[in-house]
Every structure is written in C-alpha cells, then in structure tokens.
Amino acid sequence: MKETVFSGVKPTSIPHIGNYIGALRQWVELQKDYNCYYCIVDDHAITVPQDPKMLREQIYAIAATYLAVGIDPKKSTLFLQSDVAQHTELGWLLMTQTKMGELSRMTQYKDKSKKTGSESAGVGLFAYPVLMAADILLYDTNKVPVGHDQMQHIEFTRFLARRFNEKFGQTFVLPQPLIQKVGARIMSLKDPSKKMSKSDESGAGTIMLTDEDDVIQKKIMRAVTDSTAGISYDPEKKPAVSNLMSIYHHVTGDTMKKIEDDFGGKGYGDFKKALAEVLIAHLSPIRTKINEYLKNPKELNKILDEGFEKAHPIAEKKVRAVKDKMGLAR
C-alpha cells in the first residue's frame, strides 16, 4: 500500500516562486510514489479578511496553478477544502482538545496578529493550526510536504494526534513533515531577512508565477545584493546572493559548487542576467498553462468535483470514528 501525502495552498493570491520551489515542485515528484491529496485550503484563507469576489477568482487560480505545474488529477486527489465539511467538523472536535497556551505560542499567529494586536486578531486566525491538523489527520496522512515556515504547525499536529490517541485510543496516524534542504525558505528579493510572501506590499520582492517576462527580468535585476562582492553560497554571511543561488539551483538543477565555479569570477550583474534568463524560460510555459486553464472554469469544476468524490468518503469515515470515540455518536 502506498503511503499518503497531504498538502495545501491558501487561495490568498497567485502563488509565488517561494510556494513553487518550497512546496509545489515537491508535490509533483511525490505523485509517483504516494497517494496524494492536494487541497485548496479556502477555509484557511478566510482567517484574514478576503473580498468574496477576489477569493472565488483565486480559488480557480490555485486550481489552475496546481494543474499547470504538473499535478495530475488522474494520479492525485485535487479538491477544495470547503467542499468537504468534515474539515471544519474535525477542526471543532480537535479544538475541544487544544489549550489556549498551545496556540498562542504559534509563530505564524504571532506574526500575523502583530498588525492588529491580539485583542483584535480573529479567533479563526488563532485556531488556524487546529484546522490544519484536521486537514492532515482526516486522511491518515504519513507525509506533509511544506516550506520551512509550516514546521511548527506539523509538530503541533503530531502533538495533538498523540494526545487524542492516548486519551481516546488509537485513531490518528502521526504525520511527518517533508522539508527540502535548499529552497524551503525562499527569501524576499528586497529583504533577504524576510521570507518571500504573497502579502509583500510592494510586490517587488516577490515573483508571482504569472509575472510577465519583463516583470521577472526587472525584479531580478533590482534584487538587493550583499555588501561583499562574489558569487558564493553562504546563507549567514551572504543571505541575498545565497537566496538568488537557491532559486538558480532549483530551476537548473546545478549544484552550488557548479554555480560558484561558473560565476565565481563574474559580478552580480552577470549572475542576475543569467538567473533572469533561466527563470523566464522555466516559468513562461507554466504561466501559459495557468492562463489556458483559467479560460476553462468548467473543466476546473469537473476536476474539483471528482476530487470531492474521492476525498469526502474518507473524511466522513474518519469523523464518524472520532465522534464515536468521543461519545458523540448515537
């Protein structure tokens, strides 16, 4: 029997190359050896304010992106989280087993609630890791491929699953994170101390998968560099160029050693030009495919309907078992 993989992207905007390199690319590879569930986690997107019309468009944009990067609906189950009501149901059941202190230690909550202060932060944002645990635990997931920022949430999921199993008897499989060594944290092109993010206000630090060639070129050429010259991989001392090298490495498959050998004697300008070129060549077919899928919402709906048909019975069975253990079932 194949092991199970589960992961998701929030439909908060078009994905960027951080999402692609840190998560989506791995997902495509995993389809060969695992039974994969790839979810559009819209219930998570509404933990911060969303415009309903935009949100609906972004759900389709994520579905189109999944397909464009190579997720194959014949091999994997591709579905929309809010279609399967058991995600929020298990989320509630697990929330009753979670302590306030455990959630207030989560760094994503701390970061995202900084803007408003904790008094005004949404309860949904606070409880977010419990819903994420529910997503993962519903499908007896073994592996969760994510970027480094999600590590703490997966640890929390394991902790919660173990607590539930100890209290109510064996119910949940304990999942493991799958995090790449290089590229799990693609940093902003404008500030290499911050992760590349959809919520980057100016957009200059983030390359979206739908950015046109000239935009990619401009963003790379204007990326910040380090105070010392030279193309060498050292994330501590040379965070900016090391970040650009990670992107180059992921797009070309070249090792850091080869990149250092090829560009060692050259300046930042030459390296950036080469990076822009390989990145444009890599992303432009993906962009074309995203735009093609977006023209065919009927096809996207059909794929999401089929995904629902596959995911729903499994989720339903798990929630029934959980309710039974907790004494909720008649």
Contact assessment for residue 177 and residue 146, using Cβ atoms and an 8 Å cutoff: yes
Map residue 155 onto helix, strand or coil: helix
- Based on the shown chain and the rule CB under 6 A, indicate whether residue 223 belongs to the binding site for ligand LTN: no
- Based on the shown chain and the rule CB under 6 A, indicate whether residue 197 belongs to the binding site for ligand ATP: yes
The nearer residue to ligand ATP, 94 or 125, going by C-beta atoms, is 125
The nearer residue to ligand ATP, 9 or 276, going by C-beta atoms, is 9
Q: Report the site for ligand ATP in 176-195 (rule: CB under 6 A).
A: 184-186, 195
Contact assessment for residue 158 and residue 166, using Cβ atoms and an 8 Å cutoff: no
Of 111, 152, 256, 238, nearest to 187 by C-alpha is 238
- Based on the shown chain and the rule CB under 6 A, indicate whether residue 198 belongs to the binding site for ligand ATP: yes
Q: How far is CA 241 from CA 22, 138, 208, 260, 273, in A?
A: 18, 41, 20, 11, 13
- Based on the shown chain and the rule CB under 6 A, indicate whether residue 137 belongs to the binding site for ligand LTN: no
Among ligand ATP, ligand LTN, none, the one that 247 touches (CB under a kind-dependent 5 to 8 A) is none
CA dist 58 and 13 (Å) reads: 6
CA dist 134 and 94 (Å) reads: 7
Among 4, 6, 16, 231, binds ligand LTN (CB under 6 A): 6
Tell me if residue 219 is catalytic: no
- Based on the shown chain and the rule CB under 6 A, indicate whether residue 130 belongs to the binding site for ligand LTN: no
Checking 253-260 for CB contacts under 8 A at 24+ apart, the result is 256/182, 259/231, 259/233, 260/231, 260/232, 260/233
Map residue 8 onto helix, strand or coil: strand
The nearer residue to ligand LTN, 194 or 237, going by C-beta atoms, is 194
The distance of closest approach from Cβ of residue 65 to ligand ATP in the complex, given in angstroms and rounded to an integer, is: 10
Contact assessment for residue 136 and residue 6, using Cβ atoms and an 8 Å cutoff: yes
Of 23, 72, 20, 28, nearest to 282 by C-alpha is 20
Checking 198-204 for CB contacts under 8 A at 24+ apart, the result is 198/12, 198/13, 198/14, 198/15, 198/16, 198/19, 199/12
Catalytic residue among 10, 195, 272, 318: 195
| Longest distance between any two alpha carbons in the chain, whole Å | 73
CA dist 144 and 173 (Å) reads: 12
Among ligand ATP, ligand LTN, none, the one that 197 touches (CB under a kind-dependent 5 to 8 A) is ligand ATP
Q: Report the site for ligand LTN in 146-175 (rule: CB under 6 A).
A: 146, 150, 153
- Based on the shown chain and the rule CB under 6 A, indicate whether residue 144 belongs to the binding site for ligand LTN: yes
The distance of closest approach from Cβ of residue 133 to ligand LTN in the complex, given in angstroms and rounded to an integer, is: 8
The nearer residue to ligand LTN, 158 or 272, going by C-beta atoms, is 158
Among 161, 196, 209, 275, binds ligand ATP (CB under 6 A): 196
Report the catalytic residues: 112, 195, 198
Q: Which residues bind ligand ATP (CB under 6 A)?
A: 9-10, 12, 18-19, 22-23, 146-147, 149-150, 184-186, 195-199
Q: Which residues would be at the binding site for ligand LTN (CB under 6 A)?
A: 6-8, 10, 41, 44, 132, 135-136, 144, 146, 150, 153
